Amino acid sequence: MERIKLTIDNKPVEVEAGTTILEAAQKIGVHIPTLCYHPELRLEGACRICVVEVEGLRNLVASCVYPVADNMVVKTNSESVRRARKTVLELLIANHPMDCLVCSRHGECELQDLSRQLGIRQVRFTGGKRDMAVDESSHSIVRDPNKCVLCGRCVRVCAETQAVSAIGVANRGSSSIVTTPFNKGLADGPCVGCGQCINVCPVAALREKDDTERVWGALHDPQAHVVVQVAPAVRAALGEEFGMRPGSLVTGKTVTALRQLGFDQIFDTQFAADLTIIEEGHEFIHRLKNNVNLPLITSCSPGWVGYCERFYPEMLPHVSTCKSPQQMFGVLAKTYYAERANINPANIFSVSVMPCTAKKSEAAREEMQSSGYRDVDAVITTRELASMIREAGIDFANLPDSEFELPMGMSTGAGTIFGVTGGVMEAALRTVAEILDGEELPSLEFQQVRGFAGVREATIRIAGQPVRIAIANGLAHAKRLLDSIKAGEAEYHFIEIMGCPGGCIGGGGQPLSTDPEIRMHRAAALYRQDMLKKVRKSHENPAVKELYRSFLGEPNGEKAHQLLHTHYQARSRY
């Protein structure tokens, strides 16, 4: 590769040809502010915040897209650069509501950060501002075009990472907006509610539907018996909201915080994850033995299920009929738990804390009422739980640890790793292999299925038979995998698909970041937790065994089917 020598702010730097000025500057510690730039997405060069001066060029250039050239002399802080950058930012701010004090992204806003960094002290432009309706049609995502800075990051992540394209830019000039097909509500388009757009949005133009007030309402209601479940990926990320290092495992602190918030029973979604493995494992064994509807595809991720319903309805028979752990938990909380605790299920308010925005829509699906009530009453994201903890004045980072309640707080390491791509597959293999082989596995770590590549595949020998498996994370990768199956280029027995990059740890409800490195830290935390667990196989979870013995009967049996399984339907995209 050809090497290029240039100077940036009088510092020499040598980089490969094709490098952008921004990347070259980052190499030598020169910080250039950016806005529309996102390292994971296609380059846009639209916001012009990152403009720099290149000697010999009349115009300033966008450093995020401009390639370096030999002997180039770049200035990132000349007078004209500073002036231009500030004016461009001032123009952006002039068309922004500036309601920072009451904004959900206050303190976490890139526009605010830029304004502070560039020292904007006044906005001289006083004309019109965008004034449009806020789209609250979706259970998962709120879209506020008035706050939008049109950086296009959401549009790109939705198209490139998720292959959904639920939003795009419409109109021209200052009437440009990010909107949905035919300006319908997000709920009436192809949106699957994954929330990746929220994670890349620099402002509060995209945010989760806030359900914290409903949860507070239940907590303050003396009649309500409020139970809560916590998804695995939450404990690997919640600490970030309180200044803790990415990858900090905060399971015990989370339980303590929830108790302090006033929840009556604090349970673990991982219990239901173990249950899912039993049900899905038996479903897989059944399909494998009878060779029907293979490959079996997991159904834990509501982003993926929504995608399949809208984009690959012909694949729906392959999707496991198992409800997701959240919904299995929900139905059991109002049946099994209610019975055991002798509580009228009508008085139970069931909350789930999820790394996911699509879970909010999942809980609202009309078929999710097998208990006779809405199975999960409210879903809050990791971020929303953090805001409740802040509001309650709880010093999270210094909380002591405490334990989940029994029986639905008991879980295995297999349930823990549900939170990371490949984890459901690994958990299922631990159970399926032992059932089919009839003997204990020598090693529980299926390294073949771990990692972060978008699509991974492996062949595992179970009971002497090769079982072809595949794993996809991020819907664009899922699309690639499904297309190869449809084209007859690949054949599998079992597939795990997670809607978000990295699986749930990279979910749309997690602390704001799309940094792959942070995702890796979160994943490592879950694998660490798995190693620390005494029981690491779902079928060995004593609480789950007891559940079958005293309540459900046989895996995939009649009662299990009635409560724990569901169906899907093709949905129109437009």
Closer to another protein by CB, 107 or 173: give it: 173
Closer to another protein by CB, 93 or 230: give it: 93
Angstrom distance (rounded) from CA 19 to CA 402: 50
| Annotation marks residue 362 as catalytic | yes
How does DSSP assign 71-97, residue by residue? T-EEESS-HHHHHHHHHHHHHHHHTS-
Q: Where are the beta strands (DSSP E) in 139-247?
A: 141-143, 168-170, 177-179, 206-208, 225-230
Closer to another protein by CB, 171 or 344: give it: 171
Binding residue (CB under 8 A) for another protein from 99, 106, 125, 213: 125
Question: How far apart, in Å, are the Cα atoms of 169 and each of 149, 166, 180, 181?
Answer: 12, 11, 8, 10
| Tokens standing for residue 366 | 């009309």
Q: Binding to another protein by residue 78, rule CB under 8 A?
A: no
Q: Binding to another protein by residue 82, rule CB under 8 A?
A: no
Q: Binding to another protein by residue 379, rule CB under 8 A?
A: no
Question: For the chain, what is the radius of gyration of the CA atoms?
Answer: 25
| Annotation marks residue 14 as catalytic | no
Site for another protein in 126-165 (CB under 8 A): 127-128, 150, 152
Closer to another protein by CB, 5 or 83: give it: 83
Q: Binding to another protein by residue 273, rule CB under 8 A?
A: no
Only segment of 26-34, 60-68, 219-227, 374-382 that touches another protein (CB under 8 A): 60-68
| Annotation marks residue 352 as catalytic | no
| Annotation marks residue 504 as catalytic | yes
Site string for another protein, 173-202 (x = CB under 8 A): xxxx--------------------------
* CB distance 466 to 492 below 8 Å: no
Angstrom distance (rounded) from CA 311 to CA 427: 28
Binding residue (CB under 8 A) for another protein from 12, 58, 222, 489: 58
Reading across the β-sheet that carries 73-75, which strands appear in turn?
11-16, 3-8, 73-75, 51-54, 61-62
Element at 571 (helix H, strand E): none
Instruction: Spot the catalytic one: 280, 384, 426, 434.
Output: 280
Binding residue (CB under 8 A) for another protein from 97, 145, 168, 454: 168
Only segment of 123-131, 306-314, 499-507, 553-561 that touches another protein (CB under 8 A): 123-131
Please name the residues in contact with 376: beta carbons below 8 A apart, sequence gap of 6 or more.
326, 327, 329, 330, 350, 351, 352, 363, 368
Binding residue (CB under 8 A) for another protein from 12, 79, 124, 398: 124
| Tokens standing for residue 114 | 């830029």
Closer to another protein by CB, 90 or 264: give it: 90
Q: How far is the CB of 69 from another protein (least distance, A)?
A: 9
Only segment of 48-56, 225-233, 272-280, 367-375 that touches another protein (CB under 8 A): 48-56
Q: Binding to another protein by residue 56, rule CB under 8 A?
A: no
Helix-then-strand count for the chain, H and E: 20, 17
* CB distance 26 to 74 below 8 Å: no
Per this entry, what is the length of the chain?
574
Q: Binding to another protein by residue 51, rule CB under 8 A?
A: yes
Binding residue (CB under 8 A) for another protein from 6, 21, 22, 46: 46
Angstrom distance (rounded) from CA 182 to CA 82: 40
Closer to another protein by CB, 175 or 342: give it: 175
| Tokens standing for residue 166 | 């639920």
Closer to another protein by CB, 44 or 309: give it: 44
State the burial class of residue 326 (Cβ atoms within 10 Å of its Cβ: 0-12, 13-18, 19+).
buried
Q: Binding to another protein by residue 460, rule CB under 8 A?
A: no
How does DSSP assign 106-163, residue by residue? TTS-HHHHHHHHHT-------S-------B--SSSEEE-GGG-----HHHHIIIIITS
Binding residue (CB under 8 A) for another protein from 23, 26, 45, 100: 45
Please name the residues in contact with 485: beta carbons below 8 A apart, sequence gap of 6 or more.
295, 491, 492
3-state secondary structure of 340: helix
Q: How far apart are the first and last CA of the chain?
A: 47
Q: Looking up tokens 């309650």, which residue turns up? A: 392
Please name the residues in contact with 140: beta carbons below 8 A apart, sequence gap of 6 or more.
191, 193, 195, 208, 209, 357, 358, 360, 361, 508
DSSP state of 565: B
Closer to another protein by CB, 127 or 464: give it: 127
Please name the residues in contact with 520: beta carbons below 8 A apart, sequence gap of 6 or more.
452, 502
Site for another protein in 210-269 (CB under 8 A): none
Closer to another protein by CB, 78 or 293: give it: 78
Q: How far is the CB of 420 from another protein (least distance, A)?
A: 35
Only segment of 55-63, 200-208, 275-283, 443-451 that touches another protein (CB under 8 A): 55-63
Binding residue (CB under 8 A) for another protein from 71, 77, 80, 344: 80
| Annotation marks residue 100 as catalytic | no
| Annotation marks residue 300 as catalytic | yes
Only segment of 83-91, 230-238, 292-300, 507-515 that touches another protein (CB under 8 A): 83-91
Question: How far apart, in Å, are the Cα atoms of 269 and each of 236, 353, 370, 389, 423?
Answer: 14, 9, 18, 20, 14
Binding residue (CB under 8 A) for another protein from 23, 28, 43, 364: 43
Backbone phi, psi, residue 570, to 5°: -65, 135
Only segment of 5-13, 56-64, 506-514, 538-546 that touches another protein (CB under 8 A): 56-64
Q: Binding to another protein by residue 574, rule CB under 8 A?
A: no
Q: Binding to another protein by residue 91, rule CB under 8 A?
A: yes
With CB under 8 A as the rule, give the number of residues binding another protein: 38
* CB distance 351 to 225 below 8 Å: no
Closer to another protein by CB, 28 or 91: give it: 91
Which residues pair with residue 217 across a beta bridge? none
Instruction: Spot the catalytic one: 240, 283, 309, 434.
Output: 283
What residues are annotated to the active site?
A: 280, 283, 300, 320, 359, 362, 367, 504
- Interacting residue ranges for another protein, rule: CB under 8 A: 43-49, 51, 58-60, 62, 65-67, 80, 83-84, 87-88, 91-92, 94-95, 124-125, 127-128, 150, 152, 168-169, 171-176
